[in-house]
Amino acid sequence: MKKINLGVIGAGRIGKVHVETLMQNIPQATVTIIADVDVDEACKLAERFGIKNVSADYMEVVNNKDVDAVIICSPTNTHVQYIIDAANAGKHIFCEKPVDISPVEIKKALDAVEKAGVMLMVGFNRRFDPNFMKVRHMVDEGKVGDVHIVKITSRDPAPPPAEYSAVSGGMFMDMTIHDFDMARYITNSEVKEVFVKAGVRIDKAIGEAGDVDTAIITLEFESGAFCVIDNSRKAVYGYDQRLEVFGSAGMVSVDNNFPETHKFYSANGVHRSLPLNFFMERYTESYANEMRLFCEAIANGTALPVNGNDGLAAVLVALAARKSFEEDRPVKLDEIK
């Protein structure tokens, strides 16, 4: 793998994760410049890893002639503009999910990418969790036979502030979107129809902001697979991320990760510790794999494991889900496209 230089836009939580991976775990990658509107944040992050160039202006990343690829970790509503600018500057692009909450806008970004002939990867990190990758691999090998039912449990330890819903596009767009991508990834097929049963069970303020916090979502795939996703914004026992694939030849299931393996037997029963609490801990390894695979694809010119169309597809399902919830009926993906 040849050496590549990266520029990072956005020095927030996820920006920090990617910079750390790039600087510490991928010898062939170097972060050359970091930009953030909060330039202090960019400086702190740059200093931690001995990165020389910092800016408040993302265009300095885009136009930096040493930069091979741009990592976009800024808020969702900036993604499309940054992708277009980076593509026009001939840079490869990694963009956090969702690309945007509007398919029209996403298509503008994809067009710019295509025209420029650059590569765009979207940050569906969960695909790179070793255990979920193993499941997909087993499906590909035919271990479970024809896939009949996929079950995804995806529950957060605590809801975001109610105000967040307006900005994020709501639960289907900011949270379930990962599950929609996971379902597409596991089935290797496209969603045909969505039905959502959802409501507010945890925090009224979420409902007042027009969003939901609890949902059961049924997907039908082109392949004939059914998928059911259950979501909650608040599991008191922490982050709950499970997957089950049932098919004509068997079933494979993945439980949560329990970092503490000890069991304690007392007069009260048998006790074990909770799974890892939230995504930064739970998906540490998938974030690292994701960035490594992006760098390898850029360096070697090979195909990306998740591309712009995957980013668009998940958003379309999220919109169909919202429509299904609002109209209390199954919605075909054709209605959205």
Binder of its own copies out of 251, 280, 284, 293 (CB under 8 A) = 251
Give, as ranges, the residues between 122 and 141 that touch its own copies (CB under 8 A). Answer: 130-131, 134-135, 138
Structure tokens at 245: 């694939």
CA 279 to chain centre: 10
Going by C-alpha positions, the residue among 68, 45, 25, 46 that lies closest to residue 290 is 25
149, 166, 208, 337: which one binds its own copies (CB under 8 A) = 149
How far CA 158 is from CA of 26, 161, 235, 241, 293, in Å, comes to: 33, 9, 7, 14, 31
SS3 of 28-65: the string is CEEEEEEECCCHHHHHHHHHHCCCCEEECCHHHHHCCC
Rg (CA), the chain: 20
Closest CA to 22 of 313, 289, 312, 229: 289
* Residues in 9-48 that interact with its own copies by CB under 8 A: 24-25
Query: In the complex, what is the shortest distance from the CB of residue 108 to its own copies, in angstroms, rounded to a whole number?
Result: 34
Q: Which of 104, 140, 141, 263 binds its own copies (CB under 8 A)?
A: 263
Which of 75, 90, 161, 199: binder of its own copies (CB under 8 A)? Answer: 199
Q: Which is nearer to its own copies, 104 or 267 (CB)?
A: 267
Window 305-334: contact mask with its own copies (x via CB under 8 A): -----------------------xxx----
Of positions 2, 104, 117, 262, contacts its own copies by CB under 8 A: 262
Q: Check: CB of residue 144 under 8 Å from CB of residue 306.
A: no
Residues 69 to 98: which contact its own copies by CB under 8 A? none
Within a 13 Å sphere around the CA of 127, how many CA atoms are in the beta-carbon half? 26
Q: Binding mask 152-191 vs its own copies (x if CB under 8 A, - otherwise)?
A: ---x------------------------------------
**Gap between the Cα atoms of 91 and 269, Å rounded:** 58
232 and 202 Cβ atoms separated by less than 8 Å: yes
Contacts to its own copies by CB under 8 A: 24-25, 130-131, 134-135, 138, 143, 146, 148-149, 151, 155, 193, 195, 197, 199, 201-202, 214-216, 218, 220, 224, 226-228, 230, 232, 234-237, 240, 246, 248-255, 257, 259-274, 328-330
